[in-house]
């Protein structure tokens, strides 16, 4: 009998297939003691396992590239955390085996993270994955992971570790469903990069029986269990129609009446560029530079290394616009040489621009490298700062850009409500705004983007979030300047129309979403987008806003 479940759709497309569950294993080692003379040997085993797991994570990242590479390199740093390793050594010194010492040390650190506020609690899944990999290596047992199958399937998991998601084979994994996670979790972002339909935050997903046929709609978040022949035909027809529309839609982004909305790509490094070019991106709206700094948490990369990486991206978009975000370190991306180690709440502490202003040499080197990378290239370079709170922040960043001799537009990211509320003030110092809707939602609703339990508040359709977008766009229009969106909200075709109606001047997203957004915009006039935006803002809930906008754009 067909039943319908609803989670949070995070990656477009429809997948129909049999359920396969993520493999699990008992990885809690026995609590047995070792003689004192074996402690040094066991400590050596622990270090070897940690180094092997770190190397494996980095290798997986190199294979995956882009966004996945940055996530996996961050996990590798987590595995090598010196305080964690010191705790492992202490436990082994008093009689634990290597595997038990690792297990207990990670359990202690896990408890600290879980109790340190939602932002850090969201990193528990990544920590568990690192622990499991180290313990499995010490025990000599297979790692839990993606199931072996010769036939395509829909993957079900409590959550997907970045190391698993990054290397999913889209020819076998038709789509995936998780019980936890949110629309801006690592798994969701990587699913969009892979172009795999995905639904997260679905309670009870683990109860779906192995082999059950389900249909996953990654756009609506609906899961149809044992879909009828009619439902399957309906979903397949809708998917075919969508594919045909995507193929027919080419060229620059614009509404049906010719209002231009440049469609840009979010990239995490040179590896993401080919997909962006193939999707017809008109440039880069968010070039995340963290991937360069995660190679070595103890020192910043050299100016020469930065120049080479930046130039590889800039050369791919001649005559195009490339917006570079300077290093956004802190919170879930700590760097030993830059961020404090003892902050009680890193998400609300010294992160982003705050870290760079405390270390002007790091900022100066990055800005100088960007300037040199752009020399002689016909590219429109724009550079923006993360975590800008007010005009003082914006002025400090603009001054630093000028002092570095950077010939580019300077901008500010709107990720903090204060920046949206005072957009016109900030624009006295910089030339454009870029809305990071992931963090803007997180700070507006006090809801960690990695925690499935609060995913309702991370929904970019929340009317309060739309109000802040409108305030920013109105402020930019009043100052005669631009205001783009580079958060994951831009990847939702329906929401892209609403954002356009709110006055947003460009949209940046993962490359896989560009054709969907281009097609949606081409079906509606600017006036229709504006009416849909007004209807969405008049609602009281995210679901109400979505339905109201849909009703306007479908002519109901």
Catalytic residues: 186, 486
258 Rama sector, left if φ>0, alpha if ψ -120 to 50, beta otherwise: left
Contact 228, 2 (CB under 8 A): yes
Q: Decide: helix, strand or coil at residue 156.
A: strand
* Rounded Cα–Cα distance for residues 117 and 121 (Å): 6
Interior angle at CA 301, CA 332 and CA 393, nearest 5: 60
Q: Decide: helix, strand or coil at residue 32.
A: coil
- Number of other CB atoms surrounding residue 128 within 10 Å: 16
Q: How far apart are the first and last CA of the chain?
A: 31
DSSP element (H, E) containing 170: none
* Rounded Cα–Cα distance for residues 212 and 194 (Å): 24
Q: Which residue has the tokens 């497309």?
A: 13
Query: How does DSSP classify residue 550?
Result: H
b or e along 427-461 (b: 16 or more beta carbons within 10 Å of the residue's beta carbon)?
bebbbbbbbbbbbbbbbbbebbbbbbebbbbbbbb
Contact 79, 53 (CB under 8 A): yes
Which residue, among 511, 481, 513, has the nearest Cα to 496 in the 3D structure? 513
- Which pair of structure tokens corresponds to residue 382? 């724009």
The answer for residues whose C-beta is within 8 angstroms of residue 198's C-beta and 6 or more apart is: 9, 10, 11, 175, 176, 177, 178, 187, 188, 191, 192, 216, 218
- Which pair of structure tokens corresponds to residue 147? 């199931």
Contact 159, 125 (CB under 8 A): yes
Q: Decide: helix, strand or coil at residue 214.
A: strand
Instruction: Give me the DSSP letters along 470-514.
Output: HHHHHHHHHTT-EEEE-SGGGG-HHHHHHHHHHT--EEEE-GGGH
* Rounded Cα–Cα distance for residues 60 and 196 (Å): 19
Interior angle at CA 97, CA 91 and CA 101, nearest 5: 40
Give the count of alpha carbons within 13 A of 229, CB side only.
Answer: 0
The answer for residues whose C-beta is within 8 angstroms of residue 419's C-beta and 6 or more apart is: 388, 389, 390, 412, 413, 426, 433, 472
* Rounded Cα–Cα distance for residues 265 and 244 (Å): 22
Contact 199, 10 (CB under 8 A): yes
């Amino acid at each position: 009998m067909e039943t319908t479940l609803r989670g949070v759709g995070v990656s477009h497309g429809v997948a129909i297939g049999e359920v396969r569950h993520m493999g699990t294993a008992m990885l809690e080692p026995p609590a047995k003691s070792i003689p004192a003379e074996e402690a040094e040997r066991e400590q050596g085993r622990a270090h070897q396992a940690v180094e092997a797991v770190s190397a494996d994570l980095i290798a997986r990242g190199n294979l995956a590239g882009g966004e996945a590479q940055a996530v996996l390199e961050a996990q590798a740093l987590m595995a090598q955390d010196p305080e964690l390793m010191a705790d492992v050594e202490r436990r082994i010194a008093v009689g634990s085996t290597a595997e038990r010492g690792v297990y207990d040390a990670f359990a202690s650190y896990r408890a600290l993270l879980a109790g340190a506020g939602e932002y850090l609690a969201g990193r528990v899944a990544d920590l568990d994955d690192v622990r499991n990999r180290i313990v499995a290596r010490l025990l000599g047992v297979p790692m839990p992971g993606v199931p072996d199958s010769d036939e395509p399937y829909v993957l079900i998991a409590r959550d997907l570790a970045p190391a698993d998601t990054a290397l999913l084979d889209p020819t076998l994994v038709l789509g995936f469903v998780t019980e936890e996670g949110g629309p801006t979790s690592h798994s969701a972002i990587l699913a969009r990069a892979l172009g795999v339909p995905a639904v997260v935050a679905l309670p009870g997903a683990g109860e779906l029986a192995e082999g059950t046929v389900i249909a996953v709609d990654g756009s609506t978040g609906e899961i149809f269990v044992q879909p009828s022949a009619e439902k399957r035909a309906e979903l397949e027809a809708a998917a075919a129609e969508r594919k045909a529309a995507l193929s027919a839609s080419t060229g620059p982004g614009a509404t049906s009446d010719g209002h231009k909305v440049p469609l840009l790509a979010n990239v995490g490094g040179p590896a993401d560029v080919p997909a962006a070019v193939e999707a017809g991106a008109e440039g880069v709206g968010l070039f995340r530079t963290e991937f360069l700094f995660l190679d070595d948490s103890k020192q910043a990369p050299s100016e020469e290394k930065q120049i080479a990486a930046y130039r590889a991206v800039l050369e791919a978009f001649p005559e195009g616009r490339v917006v570079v975000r300077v290093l956004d370190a802190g919170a879930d991306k700590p760097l030993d040489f830059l961020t404090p180690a003892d902050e009680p709440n890193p998400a609300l502490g010294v992160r982003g621009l705050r870290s760079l202003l405390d270390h002007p040499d790091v900022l100066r080197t990055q800005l100088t490298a960007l300037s040199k990378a752009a020399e002689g290239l016909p590219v429109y370079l724009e550079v923006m700062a993360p975590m800008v709170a007010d005009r003082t922040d914006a002025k400090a960043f603009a001054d630093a850009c000028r002092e570095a001799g950077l010939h580019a537009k300077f901008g500010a990211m709107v990720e903090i409500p204060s920046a949206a509320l005072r957009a016109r003030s900030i624009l006295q110092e910089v030339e454009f705004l870029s809305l990071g809707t992931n963090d803007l939602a997180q700070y507006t609703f006090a809801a960690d983007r990695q925690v499935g339990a609060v995913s309702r508040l991370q929904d970019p359709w929340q009317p309060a979030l739309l109000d802040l977008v409108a305030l920013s766009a109105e402020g930019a229009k009043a100052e005669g300047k631009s205001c783009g969106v580079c958060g994951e909200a831009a990847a939702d075709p329906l929401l892209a129309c609403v954002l356009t109606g709110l006055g947003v001047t460009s949209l940046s997203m993962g490359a896989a979403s560009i054709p969907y957004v281009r097609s949606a915009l081409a079906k509606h006039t600017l006036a229709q987008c504006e009416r849909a935006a007004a209807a969405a803002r008049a609602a009281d809930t995210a679901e109400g806003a979505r339905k109201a906008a849909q009703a306007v754009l479908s002519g109901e």
